[in-house]
Amino acid sequence: METLSGVLAIVRREFRTGLLVFACLCCGLAAHGQQPLRTLLVGVDRRPDVSLDGDWHYLVEQPPFGNLYRSDGRVRDDGYARNTHPNISSGPHNAEYDFATAPTLKVPGDWNTQDPTLFRFEGVVWYERDFDFQPRANTRTFLHIGAANYRSFVWVNQKRICEHEGGFTPFDCEATSALHPGSNFVVIAVDSTRHEDDIPSVNYDWFDYGGLTRDVSLVTVPMQFIDDYDVHLKREPSFSAVDSKTLTGYIHVEGSGAGTPVTLRIPGTGVDAQLTTDAEGRAEFEVKAAKLNLWSPESPNLYPVEVTAAGDRITDEIGFRDIRVDGTRILLNGNPIFLEGVNAHAEAPYRTGRVCTDEDVKNIFAFLKDLHANFVRLAHYPHDERMERMADRQGIMIWSEIPLWQRISFDKPDVYAKASAMLNEMIRRDRNKASVILWSVSNETPNNPVRTEFLTRLAGEARRLDGTRLITSALNSAHMKDGAMVLDDPLADALDVVGVNEYVGWYVGRPEDADNMHWVLPQKPVIFSEFGAEAKFGNHGAKDKRWTEEQQANVLEHQFVMLGKIPQLRGVTPWVLMDFRSPGRNIPGLQDGFNRKGLLSEKGEKKQAFRLVQKVYAEHAVGKAD
Ligand code: GCU
C-alpha cells in the first residue's frame, strides 16, 4: 500500500510529465476526483430551469489579465474566481476587488452596448452572480450557457467546472458537486481577445461583441437523463409524399447502460413507441406514423414530441420534412423550391448589440415576412436558438454556418479540432429544427489545397453527423476566364449546394456590367449567397452616385437581371437585411462604424433596395425552382 508521501511523490512526477497538467488545465478538478461533465443538452430550452438572466456584477481586466491567466498561460483558480471580499475597516490587507459592490451588466447581452467605457473593449470581463439553490437528492444540475464570446471559464463556489471556446454555440457544465444548499455564487470570466488561431481569426467584418451574450440558467435532471435526441423523417432513396411516414433517429440517455426503457410519443401521429437503450445508453428507432403532415413554409406543421427515460422527460416541438438535391434542383418534400432570402447578422434591430431577446427575434422576423422571404442565411455563425424556433413556427428556411470566415489557420490540427467542435455543437443544438435545411462550413475562404483539404474533411464530418440536410459553403473564388465568370473551386465538389458571393457593381465593375455577365458554375444547385452595395439611409442622388439608396437599388436591379439567366440558380440572399456594426467601416457621415449594405438601416428604416427586393419576391420575379 503506497504511503501518502509516496502518493504525493507520484502526483508531483505526473505533474512534471504534464499529463495531469492537461487535466488540471481542462477543469482543475482531476485532483478532486469526479470530472464535471461539459456537454450540450439538446432541447434545453424545453426544460424547466432556474434562470440566472438579469443583473450580474462585473469587473474588467486589462491585459495581461493576471487574475485569469498565469504567466505560462494556465488558468488561475485563486484570482477573482474566489470571489473574496476586501477587508476594509479591519483585518489584514487582502485582495483588492469586490464583486458585491461592483456595478452590474445585464445577462444575456454584450458588454459593449451596455457600458460606454467598454464599447470598444476586447479583453477579459469577470461576471459574478449570487443565487439560492436547494440541491435535490438523486439529481444532477448543469449550468447552461447559451453562448459566451469568445473564451469562457466558469467557477461555482470557487470550483472551476468548465471552460469553452467559441462565441456562438451553447455549452452545459455540470455543477452538481460544487453546489450546496442555500446561497451559492457563480463566477464566469469571458475573454473576447482575438487570436490568429481562433474561429473566426483576428480579422472579420462584424463587431466583436463580448460577454455572456445568451441565456444562462441552472437545469436540474435525474441521475440518468436525456441529453441528446434526433427525431426526423426517414430519408428514403426517393421521396414519395404518400409513403413518407417513417420517423427514425435515436435517444441518448446519459449515465445509463443497456436496457433502460425509453418512450417516444408524438401525439397526432399515432406514434407511441417503447424503446430500450444499448450499452452506450442509446435507443435507436424507426417507427411508422399513422398520420403525418409534413413541415413546409406554406404549412409549418410542428408536433409535440415527448421523450421519457429513467425518470426524465422532455417535450420538444418538431416538424418533419424531406430536403434533398436532385441534379441542380433543391426538393422540399419532393417539390422543387426557390429560396427567396436575405442574409442577417445577429445585430439587434433598433438597439444594436447582440440579438438575445424574444423582442429582437420578433422584429427580425417581422422584416423577413415584410420582405416576402421564405429563407434566411444566418451569417456567419449560429444565432440565438430563438431564431430557429421562430423559423420553425413561421415557415422560414435557414442556412446555418460556423464562423470559418475568410482566413483561418487551416494548416493547424488544433484549429481543425476547434472547427469540428463548433460544427458538432451547431448540429447537435439544431438537428431537430425543420427550418434548418443547410449547414455551411465556411465563408469566402482562400482557394488553396490546404484549405480545400480542411473544409472537404469538415463537410464530410457534417454529412456523417447529419445525413438529412444539405452541406454548403459560400465561395467568392469565381474569376474571369474567356469572357465568362468561372467558378471552378475544388471545394464545390464536397458540397451539395454551392454558395456564390460576388459584388459586381460595388467592389468590382459597374452595376450594368452584371447584365451581360455569363457565369460558368458547377452543375449543382447554386445560391447567390452575397451580392449588394452600400447606401446610407436617406442619402439620395443619381442611380450611379455611390452610397445613395438609388445606386444600391440600381446594383440590385442589374444583379437580378444577371441572376435570372443562371439555369442552376436555386436561391438568392442579398447582403444584408440590416446595417450592422463593423469596426473597419469608418467613413464619417456614411458608415460611422456600420456596414451599410443593409436593405434596412440599423433603425429598421427601409431603403429603396428593401422595396425593390420586396417586390421581386412578391412577384417571384427572379429565378426558377425547376
Ligand atoms: C463579404 C463577407 C461579409 C462582408 C461583406 C461586405 O463578402 O462575407 O461578411 O460583410 O462581404 O464586404 O460587406
Please write the tens of the pLDDT for every residue from 181-202. Answer: 999 999 999 999 999 999 999 9
Nearest atom within ligand 1 for CA of residue 204: 9
Position 7 confidence tier, pLDDT thresholds 50, 70, 90: very low
| Residue 513 scores a pLDDT above 80 | yes
The residue among 251, 123, 201, 546 whose CA lies nearest residue 408 is: 201
The residue among 27, 53, 68 whose CA lies nearest residue 191 is: 68
- Give the pLDDT score at 35: 62
Say which residue, 5 or 385, is predicted with more confidence.
385
In this structure, the residues whose C-beta lies within 6 A of any atom of ligand 1 are 205, 380, 443-444, 501, 530, 575, 595, 597
Buried b (16+ CB within 10 A) or exposed e, 542-577: eeeeebbbbbbbbbbbbbbbbbeebebbbbbbbbbb
- Give the pLDDT score at 38: 80
- 601 Cα to the center of ligand 1, angstroms: 16
| Residue 335 scores a pLDDT above 60 | yes
- 537 Cα to the center of ligand 1, angstroms: 19
| Across 366-392, average pLDDT | 98
- 205 Cα to the center of ligand 1, angstroms: 6
Instruction: Report the alpha-carbon distance of residue 277 to residue 420 in Å, rounded.
Output: 27
Mean of all residue pLDDT scores within the chain: 94
Ligand 1 site-directed mutation target among 577, 595, 596, 599, most atoms within 8 Å of CB: 595
Nearest atom within ligand 1 for CA of residue 534: 13
- Give the pLDDT score at 531: 98
Nearest atom within ligand 1 for CA of residue 476: 7
- Report the nearest-CA residue for atom 3 of ligand 1: 205
- Give the pLDDT score at 10: 46
Ligand 1 site-directed mutation target among 442, 559, 575, 579, most atoms within 8 Å of CB: 575
- 604 Cα to the center of ligand 1, angstroms: 20
- 379 Cα to the center of ligand 1, angstroms: 10
- Give the pLDDT score at 34: 52
Residues β-bridged to residue 273: 264
- Report the nearest-CA residue for atom 10 of ligand 1: 205
- 255 Cα to the center of ligand 1, angstroms: 44
Please state, as a whole number, how many other Cβ atoms lie within 10 Å of the Cβ of residue 208: 21
| Residue 1 scores a pLDDT above 60 | no
Ligand 1 site-directed mutation target among 530, 581, 595, most atoms within 8 Å of CB: 530
| Across 396-402, average pLDDT | 98
- Give the pLDDT score at 8: 46
| Residue 16 scores a pLDDT above 50 | no
SS3 call for 444: coil
| Across 419-447, average pLDDT | 98
- 474 Cα to the center of ligand 1, angstroms: 11
The residue among 416, 476, 477 whose CA lies nearest residue 450 is: 416
| Residue 544 scores a pLDDT above 60 | yes
| Across 82-111, average pLDDT | 94
| Across 166-175, average pLDDT | 97
Q: Radius of gyration over alpha carbons of the chain, in Å?
A: 26
| Across 17-38, average pLDDT | 51
Position 24 confidence tier, pLDDT thresholds 50, 70, 90: very low
Cell numbers linked to 547: 452610397
Ligand 1 site-directed mutation target among 406, 444, 508, 580, most atoms within 8 Å of CB: 444
| Across 11-16, average pLDDT | 47
Strand 335-336 and strand 303-309: the pairing is unpaired
Ligand 1 site-directed mutation target among 201, 203, 204, 205, most atoms within 8 Å of CB: 205
Alpha helices of 342-441 — where are they, by DSSP H? 358-370, 385-394, 413-430
| Residue 6 scores a pLDDT above 60 | no
- Give the pLDDT score at 235: 95
- 236 Cα to the center of ligand 1, angstroms: 38
Report how far apart, in Å, the C-alpha atoms of 413 and of each of 175, 195, 416, 451, 517 are: 31, 16, 5, 12, 40
- Report the nearest-CA residue for atom 12 of ligand 1: 205
| Across 165-192, average pLDDT | 97
Q: Tell me the residue type at 224.
A: Q
- Give the pLDDT score at 26: 45
| Across 119-144, average pLDDT | 97
| Across 120-129, average pLDDT | 98
| Across 278-302, average pLDDT | 97
- 229 Cα to the center of ligand 1, angstroms: 35
Nearest atom within ligand 1 for CA of residue 501: 7
Nearest atom within ligand 1 for CA of residue 444: 8
Instruction: Report the alpha-carbon distance of residue 294 to residue 265 in Å, rounded.
Output: 17
